[in-house]
Chain A
Amino acid sequence: MATYSTNEFRSGMKVMLDGDPCNILENEFVKPGKGQAFNRVKMRNLMNGRVWERTFKSGESIEAADVIDSDMEYLYNDGEFWHFMKTDDSYEQVAAGAAAVAECQNWLKEQDIYQVTLWNDDPIAVTPPNFVELEVTETDPGLKGDTANGGTKPATLSTGATIKGVPLFINIGDVLKVDTRTGEYVSRVKT
Chain B
Amino acid sequence: MSDWQPLASVTQLQQRALLLSSARAFFAERNVLEVQTPVLAKHTVTEPDIQSIEVPGFGYLQTSPEYHIKRLLAAGAPSCYQLGPAFRFGEQGRLHNPEFTMLEWYRLDFDHWLLMDEVAELVDQLLGAKPYQQLSYTDLVGPLGDRPRDELDLAFARACERLSAGRFFITDYPAEQAALARLNPDGLTAARFELVVDGVELANGYWELTDPAEHRRRFAKDNESRGQRTLPQVALDEAFLDAMKAGLPNCAGVALGFDRLVMLALGVKDLSQALAFRGQ
- A: residues with CB less than 8 A from B are 7, 28-38, 55, 57-58
Is B90 in contact with chain A by the CB < 8 A criterion?
yes
Given contacts A32-B153, A32-B156, contact A37 B90 (CB under 8 A): yes
Cβ-defined partner of B149 (8 Å) among A29, A30, A33, A36: A36
Given contacts A31-B91, A58-B90, contact A38 B96 (CB under 8 A): no
Contacts of A33 in B (CB 8 A): 194, 201, 204
Contact yes or no, A32 B157, CB < 8 A: yes
Residue of A nearest to B257 (CB): A33
Contact yes or no, B157 A31, CB < 8 A: yes
Contact yes or no, B96 A29, CB < 8 A: yes
Is B160 in contact with chain A by the CB < 8 A criterion?
yes
Is B243 in contact with chain A by the CB < 8 A criterion?
no
Given contacts A34-B49, A34-B204, A37-B49, contact A29 B93 (CB under 8 A): yes
Q: How far is the CA of A61 from the CA of B10 in the complex (A)?
A: 40
Is B179 in contact with chain A by the CB < 8 A criterion?
yes
Contact yes or no, B154 A37, CB < 8 A: no
Q: How far is the CA of A38 from the CA of B179 in the complex (A)?
A: 20
Contact yes or no, A36 B93, CB < 8 A: no
Interface residues of B in 93-138 (CB under 8 A from A): 93-96
Contact yes or no, A30 B157, CB < 8 A: yes
Cβ-defined partner of A30 (8 Å) among B93, B152, B194: B93
- B: residues with CB less than 8 A from A are 47, 49-50, 90-96, 149-150, 152-154, 156-157, 160, 177, 179, 194, 201, 204
Q: How far is the CA of A38 from the CA of B158 in the complex (A)?
A: 11
Contact yes or no, B154 A38, CB < 8 A: yes
Contacts of A34 in B (CB 8 A): 47, 49-50, 177, 179, 204
Contact yes or no, A36 B150, CB < 8 A: yes
Contact yes or no, A36 B153, CB < 8 A: yes
Residue of A nearest to B47 (CB): A34
Cβ-defined partner of B94 (8 Å) among A7, A29, A38: A29
Nearest 10 CB-CB pairings of A with B: A29-B93, A35-B153, A36-B153, A30-B157, A32-B157, A33-B204, A36-B150, A32-B156, A36-B49, A32-B153
Contacts of A28 in B (CB 8 A): 93-94
Contacts of B154 in A (CB 8 A): 36, 38, 55
Q: Smallest distance from the beta carbon of A114 to chain B beta carbons, Å?
A: 33
27 contacts between A and B (CB under 8 A): A28-B93, A29-B91, A29-B96, A30-B93, A31-B93, A31-B96, A31-B157, A32-B157, A32-B160, A33-B201, A34-B49, A34-B177, A34-B179, A35-B49, A35-B149, A35-B153, A35-B157, A36-B49, A36-B150, A36-B153, A36-B154, A37-B49, A37-B90, A37-B91, A38-B154, A55-B154, A57-B150
Q: How far is the CA of A99 from the CA of B96 in the complex (A)?
A: 41
Contacts of A30 in B (CB 8 A): 93, 157
Q: Apart from A32-B160, A36-B153, what are 20 other A-B pairs with CB-CB below 8 Å?
A: A7-B90, A28-B93, A28-B94, A29-B92, A29-B95, A30-B157, A31-B96, A33-B194, A34-B50, A34-B179, A34-B204, A35-B149, A35-B152, A35-B156, A36-B149, A36-B150, A36-B154, A38-B153, A38-B154, A55-B154
Q: Smallest distance from the beta carbon of B30 to chain A beta carbons, Å?
A: 25
Q: Smallest distance from the beta carbon of B137 to chain A beta carbons, Å?
A: 11
Q: How far is the CA of A55 from the CA of B96 in the complex (A)?
A: 17
Q: Smallest distance from the beta carbon of B140 to chain A beta carbons, Å?
A: 11
Contacts of A35 in B (CB 8 A): 49, 149, 152-153, 156-157, 177
Contacts of B92 in A (CB 8 A): 29
Q: How far is the CA of A37 from the CA of B157 in the complex (A)?
A: 9
Contacts of A31 in B (CB 8 A): 49, 91, 93, 96, 157
Q: How far is the CA of A28 from the CA of B96 in the complex (A)?
A: 10
Residue of B nearest to A55 (CB): B154
Q: How far is the CA of A38 from the CA of B160 in the complex (A)?
A: 14
Q: How far is the CA of A35 from the CA of B170 in the complex (A)?
A: 15
Contacts of B50 in A (CB 8 A): 34
Q: Smallest distance from the beta carbon of A9 to chain B beta carbons, Å?
A: 11
Q: How far is the CA of A38 from the CA of B157 in the complex (A)?
A: 9
Q: Smallest distance from the beta carbon of A50 to chain B beta carbons, Å?
A: 22
Q: Smallest distance from the beta carbon of B100 to chain A beta carbons, Å?
A: 11
Contacts of B94 in A (CB 8 A): 28-29
Residue of A nearest to B151 (CB): A36
Contacts of B90 in A (CB 8 A): 7, 37, 58
